[in-house]
Amino acid sequence: MTGTAWGRRGVKGLILRTGKTSIAHVLVIVQNLPVPLDRRVWLECQALTAAGYQVSVICPKGPGDPARQEIAGVRLYKYRPAREAKGLLGFVWEFVYSWVRTALLSLVVWGREPFQVMQACNPPDTYWALARLWRMRGVRFVFDQHDLNPELFLSRFGEPEGLAQRTQYEGLLWLERMTYRQADHVLSTNESYRAIAQRRGGKAPEDVTVVRSGPDTRRMRPIRPRGSGWRGGSTLLTYLGVMGPQDNVDVLLEVMDDLVHRRGRDDVRLALLGFGDCLADLKAECHVRGLDGHVLFTGRVGPAEIAEYLSSADIGLSPDRRTPLNDASTMNKAMEYMAYGLPAVSFDLTETRVSAGPSALYVPDGDVVAFADAVEELIDDPDRRVRMGELARHRVVADLDWRPQASAYVAAFDRVSGYVRTQPLPDLLPALVGPSPSTRYVEDQDPVVFRRFLRERGRLSRAHDLTA
């Protein structure tokens, strides 16, 4: 093995012999997003490299991505993604194609340097089979569970009816069960997922670690926008995230229709940041509702655009309906709104309450009028927006920041690899490199400055401050 020598420590796994350059080589597999666009996976990779691991990633290409790339010491191996899936056969083809491309690239990675641990991030729950094959070479398997696929099925289609639906649902449960069974360790995004891994997956408590998708709040923090954002009026609402069938972004068009056409709030604008399967349908619905002048679709956005919009906006929106998946899932958008000091409005979901606490207003599931009422309440009460924004930023920094999550994540890998640390963990946060907006950061430690920012944000009345 190049650069790494290993020995046994009972049945616990592999340990590093002294004098070598890395603890272990970890292969990370992602299918649904390219890296580093996948924020959670990229933070995980950087935490592992900071802790002394060598990291390689296999994932699909994003637009313009090269097939091979090394960023911040992480080697990226990318394949051309499958064409958009339609129907059951389309999804089967996508999974088979991606699995085969990933399996072939894993041979390429191994040929360059053998890996000792493989981490697979779902969806889908298919890479247990690849982990089983690599186990014959002594590779251990970590399952990073981002989604509950059986709950996703129930959320999209309801309780299965008929032989075909029951077969699909039971198939998803079987794939999940096989993934749990093959995994040496499971990473869960919250306590709800952890409970399912123990109850449905039969995992022992010590074999499941909660690693929340917390933001790096040193980077993800309010800035002074270069302009007033896409405001066009005195209030800017925003949504950040994927636009798929289960994300219920159409609810926000109903809310805007109510605010603009029924309540006469012509000064309200909505910026929808993101992309997904429903984007074209949402644009068409927006036009039919006569909201083209009030709603902006940005498409795919990067960190710089996210910082501009979330620092300019007044209220963050979470339209996810209460479904078996959404109720148990941690919504990244909720924590990202909090990082920028944004109060939010959300349907009442268990894990969203755990994350956002009092920094959001919660309305009964599916009640669009109540959702619009809550938005209007915050529009008309700037003092409350300021208080909630302060709570949001404090809570995300104190309780949800990536730093403690990174320590828990690396500790899980140390356990799987059998590595025993004799020194405290180094700082696992990624270095702040490249063009820095630090001169534009709002000083959130100064209550007076931060409250002024929360009240005024990207308004035209602050043009001098915003461009200074």
What string of DSSP letters covers 281-326? Answer: HHHHHHHHTT-TTTEEEEES--HHHHHHHHHH-SEEEE-----HHH
Once rounded to an integer, what is the mean pLDDT over residues 272-300? 94
Question: Measured between alpha carbons, how far is 418 from 4 in angstroms, rounded to an integer?
Answer: 14
The pLDDT of residue 20 is above 70:
no
Question: Quick one: what percent of the chain has pLDDT higher than 90?
Answer: 74
The pLDDT of residue 459 is above 80:
no
Residue with tokens 């641990």: 117
Residues 6 or more apart from 341 whose CB is under 8 A from it?
222, 389, 390, 392, 393, 444, 450, 453, 454
Paired tokens of 429: 């946060």
pLDDT at 93: 86
Q: For the ranges 23-27, 320-324, 388-392, 420-424, which has the lowest average pLDDT?
A: 420-424
Do 117 and 142 contact (CB within 8 A), yes or no? yes
- Torsional sign, CA 189, 214, 40, 414: negative
pLDDT band, residue 10 (cuts 50/70/90): very low
Q: For the ranges 90-99, 314-323, 372-381, which has the lowest average pLDDT?
A: 90-99
- Torsional sign, CA 65, 67, 68, 74: positive
Paired tokens of 413: 């890998």
For 41-45, which contacts have Cβ atoms below 8 Å and span 24 or more sequence positions? Answer: 41/121, 41/144, 43/216, 43/402, 43/406, 43/430, 44/119, 44/144, 44/211, 44/406, 44/409, 45/74
The pLDDT of residue 433 is above 80:
no
- The one-letter code for the residue type at 404 is P
The 3-state DSSP class for residue 174 equals helix
Paired tokens of 101: 């491309």
Where along the chain do its domains lie? 6-214+403-417, 235-398
More reliable by pLDDT, 273 or 19: 273
Do 263 and 377 contact (CB within 8 A), yes or no? no
The pLDDT of residue 31 is above 80:
yes
Nearest to residue 337, comparing CAs of 352, 322, 321, 348? Answer: 352
CATH superfamily of 6-214+403-417: Glycogen Phosphorylase B; (3.40.50.2000)
The pLDDT of residue 82 is above 90:
no
Strand order in the sheet with 344-347: 295-299, 268-273, 235-240, 315-318, 344-347, 360-363
The pLDDT of residue 1 is above 80:
no
pLDDT band, residue 16 (cuts 50/70/90): very low
Same fold, 6-214+403-417 and 235-398: yes
**Are β-strands 25-30 and 117-121 bridged in parallel, bridged antiparallel, or unpaired?**
parallel
Question: Measured between alpha carbons, how far is 453 from 465 in angstroms, rounded to an integer?
Answer: 10
Once rounded to an integer, what is the mean pLDDT over residues 430-458? 77
The pLDDT of residue 141 is above 80:
yes
Do 355 and 407 contact (CB within 8 A), yes or no? no
Once rounded to an integer, what is the mean pLDDT over residues 422-442? 71
DSSP one-letter string for 57-89:
EEEEPPTT--SEEEETTEEEEEEPPPPPP-HHH
Counts of helices then strands in the chain (DSSP H, E): 17, 16
pLDDT band, residue 233 (cuts 50/70/90): low
pLDDT at 199: 97
pLDDT band, residue 226 (cuts 50/70/90): confident
Torsion angle, alpha carbons of 72, 76, 82, 83, to 10: 30
Across the chain, mean pLDDT equals 89
Residues 6 or more apart from 107 whose CB is under 8 A from it?
none
pLDDT at 13: 38
**Are β-strands 6-8 and 14-16 bridged in parallel, bridged antiparallel, or unpaired?**
antiparallel
Return the CATH number of the domain spanning residue range 235-398. Answer: 3.40.50.2000
pLDDT at 435: 44
More reliable by pLDDT, 438 or 53: 53
Question: Measured between alpha carbons, how far is 312 from 47 in angstroms, rounded to an integer?
Answer: 30
Question: Measured between alpha carbons, how far is 363 from 357 in angstroms, rounded to an integer?
Answer: 13
- Torsional sign, CA 275, 277, 283, 289: negative
Top-ranked range on mean pLDDT: pick from 130-134, 293-297, 446-450:
130-134
Once rounded to an integer, what is the mean pLDDT over residues 265-274? 93
